[in-house]
Amino acid sequence: IRAGDTAATVVRKDPTEGASAPRASSGSLPRTTSAETLATVQAAAMTGTAVWIGYVNAEGAASQRVIAPVRVEGGFVTAYDHTADEVRTFALHRITGVAELAEDGEG
């Protein structure tokens, strides 16, 4: 499996409809409050689950990523980035939102 394949085919939970929707069809980055983002990322780190995030880098480029958080501390999230196929550190203030992945990820 190539790096990014998991991120390209992931299904996320749609909090507005209460049903799962393919990430690609939404076409937009997830939006959550700072408190929701922090709570969801911390919970994912504690349970070892992956989440889908919207992220804006230092140059202002927005991206969508599937990450598996390992540690949340000092305003940063250290996580395995399925898109890049490596462990990376993300600044919490640059995460635009987070969405849980759907339970039935088989496809």
The number of beta carbons lying within 10 Å of the beta carbon of residue 51 is: 26
- Contacts with 56 (C-beta within 8 Å, 6 or more apart), sequence order: 62, 63, 94, 96
Q: For residues 41 and 69, is the Cβ–Cβ distance under 8 A?
A: yes
The number of beta carbons lying within 10 Å of the beta carbon of residue 69 is: 24
The number of beta carbons lying within 10 Å of the beta carbon of residue 97 is: 19
The domain locations on the chain are 5-100
Residues composing the chain? 107
| pTM for the model | 0.72
pLDDT in single tens digits along all 107 residues of the chain = 434 445 545 555 544 444 333 333 345 667 899 999 999 999 999 999 999 999 999 999 999 999 999 999 999 999 999 989 999 999 999 999 999 987 654 44
